[in-house]
Structure 1
Amino acid sequence: MDAKTGSIEGGCPVPHGEAAARGLLGRTNKDWWPEMLATEILNPNGPSNPMGDDFDYAEAFNALDYNALKADLTALMTDSQPWWPADYGHYGPFFIRMAWHAAGTYRTADGRGGANSGQQRFAPLDSWPDNGNLDKARRLLWPIKQKYGQNISWADLFIIAGNVAIESMGGPVFGFGGGRPDVYEPERDIYWGSEDKWVNENVQTRIAPEHGMHELEGPLAAIQMGLIYVNPEGPGGNPDPLQSARDMRATFERMAMNSEETVALTAGGHTFGKAHGNGDPSTLGHAPAGGDLVAQGFGWVSGEEHGGIGEHTVTSGIEGSWVNTPTEWTENYFRLLLDYEYELVKSPAGAQQWQPINQKEEDMAPAAWDASKKVPTMMTTADMALKVDPEFREISERFRNDHEAFKDAFARAWFKLTHRDLGPKIRYLGPDVPAEDLIWQDPVPAGNNPSDSLVAEVKQKIADSGLTVSQLIKTAWASASTYRKSDFRGGANGARVALEPQKNWDVNEPEVIAKVVDTLNGLRGEMSLADAIVLGGVVALEKAGAGDVPFTGGRGDATQEMTDVESFEWMEPEADAFRNYMPKRLAVKCEELMLDRASLLGLSVPEMTVLIGGLRVLGANHGERGHGHFTNRSGELTNDFFVNLYDMTNVWSSVEDSNDEEYVATDRAEGHEKWRATRADLIFGSNSELRAVGEVYAQKGGEEKFRKDFVRAWTKVMNADRFDLHRG
């Protein structure tokens, strides 16, 4: 299977069979919790935001008393509350887990998930089994959030609390960048999977045990529904460390981590705290999304007489700490893991875990609620993977022998984990932003804003170059349309369309890209290539009759050395409805993928509609494909796509052997062929909502509105990654 997007030959980023009817989003909150209040009925035109459209979070954050916030968080770490007492009197490990799980949903395939909007506050994430009892961590933070108000978002607070937790226990921290504005309802465009059972209810994993993680559905990363990464007991609860290593390697890779980062994060995170399984899991109540009204948002309330808190807490079901020093940064994790032999045992809650054989008393951990008592440490099956898997073992041995290297690797991996979805470094706020530029931040040198005279000079040279409207439009679109609002990656800034791997993506027609880039490099003078590519699109549109098209320069040019080729490979589309590109049949309808791509671009339905219609008549289709090119005025920005699509003299039929992917229109009276189309074309006539928008552009007087709306939407895409102009 193709792990990125998934063809029929190789899997799919959406569910199959009955689940495919759910479209891209899989199961919804209403599927899991039918009684949940449907507040979205009040937001028919998009997400609600009580802060208002004019609220500037960057401005609010910059007014924050940052040092006071960190001091308050440090004090909170040891301010144990009786309603949810701190293990060992220190909340640090609890907040590390909260921050990790807020960030750890990120997946590199579509950039969705992650910490950048505080989604852990909402279903389904607030009620995932893997997020058990983190509702209490968030509630412990409420007095601090209340105190600092709009100056700190929940999304930023989750991450900085994790950083302070590590620092308060002597651990290494690489830095912190703020700038994550909150959202106020679940992000409904994220596909979390199609299963109807959570991990704790289902022994089946998302792939067959004898197969590799490449079978996992396209954008997903976790091995079972409701997990952040892997099942700590082993795949489907099977305590096989080698199988667990396989799952860890692949799922961390899908979350943008290599093997060294995987070992560093696992070991560093498990240097602190304990797991909780000292009770009867059958007494736990519903998760927060299905909890009682009087619980006021708390979930997993225990029905046991002692309340199921403190030493009786059940979360994962695994019980015990990994090391004998659970509130200090030490070298003990690798020592205990590698020096002892382990045997498989069960926790009081019945979970599979591993215990050292003949453990020395000095290597035992203090009991969380009575430091005078000693209890054995433990390892999960996922920890044992670091000991048993040859590659993980080699890294573990190296880190054990070089603690400074381990500290640096953990600090950097933690920073990457918690900032991977924040976007380019220009978006980072605060005094703890590291000076070092990291390749996963997709660095781009600052560009120079070209003078009006240079812009005019280069525009004229492009216009006289012999490059066609189609070639210029294709190149500008290929450059800018890589942007995705999920993790703020891609876009025209940097001109990475001229670098590996993008310059060789099939969807980008490498020969066209190479010709345009070579020509522009000879014409642009001191202007950046990134600006020249976008300016080429402006020239093309003005040639096509769009009128004056705005242009804002100032982009920089990245180099190949600044480009993480492997990371960018995940962004290659196997289908693109905007360019009518679908070289092979996929297991999901192309119109579904069209909506997904439009969503990642941050487009509305009218913006998507007008862009599709304009790109078709401008000749932006991949190759020489004429499907959807409903015009006899090719290269002119007209509303012909909609006028001719809605022409009632057309009779549409599926082309034989096209698997309902290709269609032909014949003249109703004369019977001759008029047009060819794909699903991505005809959906604008068959879907009532899309048709309603398209008819606005097809009706009398609609052509001028069409041109203005197209230019506006085009410019939005060209500038989507201009964080020097807006926060995104």
Structure 2
Amino acid sequence: MTSSQGKGGCPVMHGSNTNQQSKQNQWWPKSLNLEILHQHDSKTSPLPKDFNYKQAFNNLDLAAVKQDLKDLMTQSQSWWPADWGHYGGLMIRLAWHSAGTYRIADGRGGASRGSQRFAPLNSWPDNGNLDKARRLLWPIKKRYGDALSWADLIILAGNMAYESMGLKMFGFAGGREDVWTPEIDTYWGAEKEWLATSDKENSRYSGERDLDNPLAAVMMGLIYVNPEGVDGKPDPIKTAHDVRITFARMAMNDEETVALTAGGHTVGKCHGNGDASQLGPEPEAGELEDQGFGWLNKQQRGIGSDAITSGLEGPWTTNPTQWDNGYFHLLLNYDWWIQKSPAGAWQWQPVNIKPEDMPVDAEDANKRCTPIMTDADMALKFDPEYRKIAERFYQDPSYFAEVFTRAWFKLTHRDLGPKTRYLGADVPAEDLIWQDPVPHNPNRLDLSELSQLKQAILASDISPSEYIITAWDSARTYRGSDRRGGANGARIQLAPQNNWQGNEPEQLHKVVSALKSIQQQLNSSISLADLIVLAGNTAIEQAAKLGGFNIEVPFAQGRGDATQANTDEHSFDVLEPLHDGFRNWLKADYHVTAEELLLERSQLMQLTAAEMTVLIGGMRVLGTNYAGSKHGVFTDNIGVLTNDFFVNLTDMNYSWQPISNNLYHIVNRNNGELQWSATRVDLVLGSNAILRSYCEHYAQDTNKEKFIHDFVSAWVKVMNADRFDLE
């Protein structure tokens, strides 16, 4: 697999969307844009506040939905006729392109939120005419209503398309809840135009051909690679490089890549039989009367065999409405040459094809047409490693079908989260390692047992700050984008996490050893994952008590302990923190500022701006900075949970003097003495008007107790972020 890191190993996008100009800061482009922390405000949803999608989906007649979808496949509509009378290819492309935006670097993209309904995805060139597929599905969505999200319906439609064409699928799980507004937090690239080539100044490439992190697609507006070749120039070997990088960043290995490419192209066809200049604008740019339709050809027929989508024209196989091994038969047994489609796109066509291998026309069964291949298809023929896999699939159709259905399940479920979130009767029983399985822990301790553990924690040689740090580091890996990471499983004790620099391995080992010793001494059945969180909670309770407040941090038992055997070490590499503003740590200097990195991490952790602010203030006074750094520790009582950070940050008796790009001195205005040091993450809380309003709120004399309760609430949210069993 290829590294997901781009320029300088930067962990987030370049030209980050956290400070890009918007309507709110067009006059002050350097102002920190907090919009990504307000993403998907509940007020955008028309659903009742008490609506429970899990309950609604579980009450759904899934068998009836599946049958309705299979019936739909052959109910051709005159306004958008089905190729060969079957919508299977179109529905598979819809599902594929919904799921295919997922990338491992930040877990964003994917099918689990129904984002394809909104810009920019609904208007990407690569999603041409998928607006028609969604309209074809509308009667089914209308029938089942809120019990069936668009996100689930789109993926299920792809599955039923394959089943209707003869392929037994590996499984399906529901559980994808729709969003109701575009996902502005997802960075798709810095280009200012669709399909910008890599020789442009705004390219997403550097070096010889290093794709920027966290991107996976090769161009703005594409899901994967350019079907005509790198920058539109056919060259299967160069395209193989792009394919390998792109699919690796979607968590696919070479075998899965070949299976998905071949399986996706076993059915359906490309559309490019006409003049592309006659096409109207994409949906977001369409006229009012177009009602959300795009790419309309109002000058010519523009539908059926005359439709234009990719610009390439023709099916890949002899029998485009049935699952078979015809793709490999044509790919491997014929020589292919490069030709132009009627729309002017480069495509590969077979030399001297036999009449019996020619598919019939999509609308006229009395006509035969020539099959085609894209440059990505030809990469499977010319790349040595891909070729070996293709030949094995050709010789063993059953094995090909098995690998494909498993890879398709992974493609369409990778961002749904752990198996505990899966809904429906078609969920496969098998646990898959990419699901990050965690063994179930049935043990529950009573209050007296928990009290004994707390006493042992406080009596140990480990400092409260070390317990808080370990609990935080265990939980902070969670990212709401694809629901990976988090404290459940205690994978912080396993490779690779136990060796991550940001987890301070030596200190981590000391804390984990102490907690295991407590487990053994008390002969406790508590999981290590639960004990790590309990220790952090206990330390916070003690810190609040030192400040004069007796509180109890809510603790939810039920975490299990993962093993090294059920941990895919390689796939966890992308979760390694390279920065943590909450612990005031940067591994290196990056192309984006420390405060932008903070927003990126906070959004992935699903924190609001207020929660982010209160957590930083609490973590600073608790002494949890990386390597014991004193930057931002605006208190004389380290280890006591107080609002001192906010009080001193907003105190005008101090001035703030820049020393370097990420270091500032806090100086007493009256005597000129150095009081504290700080980083950009500390000072942005006082500089940004919105964040300062939160700081002032918590600095008020009347809000000392409220600060503690809000800190605890945000802390518990982080600790329980991956506890889907609590929902």
Same fold (TM > 0.5): yes
Counterpart of 2:145 in structure 1 is 149
Distance 2:108 2:41 in 1: 21
Aligned-partner SS, 1:665: strand
Counterpart of 2:531 in structure 1 is 532
Matched, 1:572 2:576: yes
Matched, 1:463 2:458: yes
The question of whether the paired residues in 2 share the 8 Å contact of 1:3 and 1:216 is answered with: no
The question of whether the paired residues in 2 share the 8 Å contact of 1:26 and 1:192 is answered with: no
Task: Note closer, same or farther for the CA distance 1:28–1:331 as it changes in structure 2 (3 Å cut).
Answer: farther
The question of whether the paired residues in 2 share the 8 Å contact of 1:25 and 1:189 is answered with: no
Which amino acid in 2 is paired with 1:376?
T
Matched, 1:363 2:344: no
Distance 2:266 2:40 in 1: 47
Distance 1:586 1:305 in 2: 51
Please, which of 582, 586, 596 is the counterpart of residue 582 of structure 1? 586
Please, which of 121, 127, 134 is the counterpart of residue 123 of structure 2? 127
Render the CA deviation track for 1:578-603: whole Å, top value 9, x for unaligned: 11111321100111111111111111
Aligned-partner SS, 1:724: helix
Please, which of 435, 444, 448 is the counterpart of residue 438 of structure 2? 444
Aligned-partner SS, 1:523: helix
Task: Note closer, same or farther for the CA distance 1:679–1:587 as it changes in structure 2 (3 Å cut).
Answer: same
Render the CA deviation track for 1:69-88: whole Å, top value 9, x for unaligned: 11110100000000000001
* Number of residue-to-residue matches in the alignment: 706
How much has 1:208 moved relative to structure 2? 5.2
The question of whether the paired residues in 2 share the 8 Å contact of 1:5 and 1:573 is answered with: no
Matched, 1:211 2:208: yes
Please, which of 589, 607, 610 is the counterpart of residue 603 of structure 1? 607
Aligned-partner SS, 2:701: coil
Please, which of 185, 190, 193 is the counterpart of residue 189 of structure 2? 193
Which amino acid in 2 is paired with 1:179?
G
Counterpart of 1:37 in structure 2 is none
How much has 1:52 moved relative to structure 2? 2.4
Matched, 1:505 2:509: no
Matched, 1:703 2:704: yes
Counterpart of 2:30 in structure 1 is none
Render the CA deviation track for 1:525-573: whole Å, top value 9, x for unaligned: 2110000000011111011016211111111000011111111100112
Counterpart of 1:158 in structure 2 is 154
The question of whether the paired residues in 2 share the 8 Å contact of 1:366 and 1:372 is answered with: yes
Identity across aligned pairs (percent)?
56
The question of whether the paired residues in 1 share the 8 Å contact of 2:40 and 2:181 is answered with: no
Aligned-partner SS, 1:545: helix
Distance 2:206 2:490 in 1: 42
The question of whether the paired residues in 2 share the 8 Å contact of 1:387 and 1:396 is answered with: yes
How much has 1:664 moved relative to structure 2? 0.8
Distance 2:205 2:587 in 1: 29
Matched, 1:57 2:53: yes
Matched, 1:348 2:352: no
The question of whether the paired residues in 2 share the 8 Å contact of 1:617 and 1:637 is answered with: yes
Distance 1:647 1:491 in 2: 36
Render the CA deviation track for 1:322-344: whole Å, top value 9, x for unaligned: 11010011111111101111100
Counterpart of 1:391 in structure 2 is 385
Matched, 1:614 2:614: no
Please provide the CA RMSD for this pair: 2.1
Task: Note closer, same or farther for the CA distance 1:569–1:44 as it changes in structure 2 (3 Å cut).
Answer: closer
Counterpart of 1:593 in structure 2 is 597
Alignment of 1:396-435 (within 5 A): 396-435=390-429
Which amino acid in 1 is paired with 2:79?
W
Please, which of 565, 589, 602 is the counterpart of residue 561 of structure 1? 565
Please, which of 117, 136, 139 is the counterpart of residue 140 of structure 1? 136
The question of whether the paired residues in 2 share the 8 Å contact of 1:449 and 1:555 is answered with: no
Counterpart of 1:35 in structure 2 is none
Counterpart of 2:29 in structure 1 is none
Task: Note closer, same or farther for the CA distance 1:337–1:109 as it changes in structure 2 (3 Å cut).
Answer: same
Distance 1:581 1:114 in 2: 30
Task: Note closer, same or farther for the CA distance 1:268–1:28 as it changes in structure 2 (3 Å cut).
Answer: farther
Render the CA deviation track for 1:498-543: whole Å, top value 9, x for unaligned: 1111111111111111111111111122110000000011111011
Counterpart of 1:220 in structure 2 is 215
Matched, 1:231 2:235: no
Counterpart of 1:295 in structure 2 is 290
The question of whether the paired residues in 2 share the 8 Å contact of 1:496 and 1:558 is answered with: yes
Task: Note closer, same or farther for the CA distance 1:386–1:43 as it changes in structure 2 (3 Å cut).
Answer: closer
Matched, 1:629 2:625: no
Distance 2:92 2:283 in 1: 21
Matched, 1:265 2:260: yes
Task: Note closer, same or farther for the CA distance 1:175–1:393 as it changes in structure 2 (3 Å cut).
Answer: same
Ranges in structure 1 where 5+ consecutive residues have no aligned partner: 32-39
The question of whether the paired residues in 2 share the 8 Å contact of 1:323 and 1:336 is answered with: yes
Render the CA deviation track for 1:161-209: whole Å, top value 9, x for unaligned: 0000000001231000001111111111111111111017887594559
Which amino acid in 1 is paired with 2:317?
V
With normalisation by structure 2, the TM-score equals 0.94
Distance 1:27 1:252 in 2: 32
With normalisation by structure 1, the TM-score equals 0.94
The question of whether the paired residues in 2 share the 8 Å contact of 1:27 and 1:194 is answered with: no
Task: Note closer, same or farther for the CA distance 1:523–1:152 as it changes in structure 2 (3 Å cut).
Answer: same
Please, which of 165, 172, 183 is the counterpart of residue 168 of structure 2? 172
Matched, 1:184 2:180: yes
How much has 1:639 moved relative to structure 2? 0.7
Ranges in structure 2 where 5+ consecutive residues have no aligned partner: 27-35, 546-550
Task: Note closer, same or farther for the CA distance 1:203–1:349 as it changes in structure 2 (3 Å cut).
Answer: farther
Distance 1:43 1:125 in 2: 17
How much has 1:30 moved relative to structure 2? 13
Matched, 1:676 2:677: yes
Distance 2:286 2:197 in 1: 18
Distance 2:139 2:419 in 1: 30
Which amino acid in 1 is paired with 2:677?
R
Aligned-partner SS, 2:367: strand
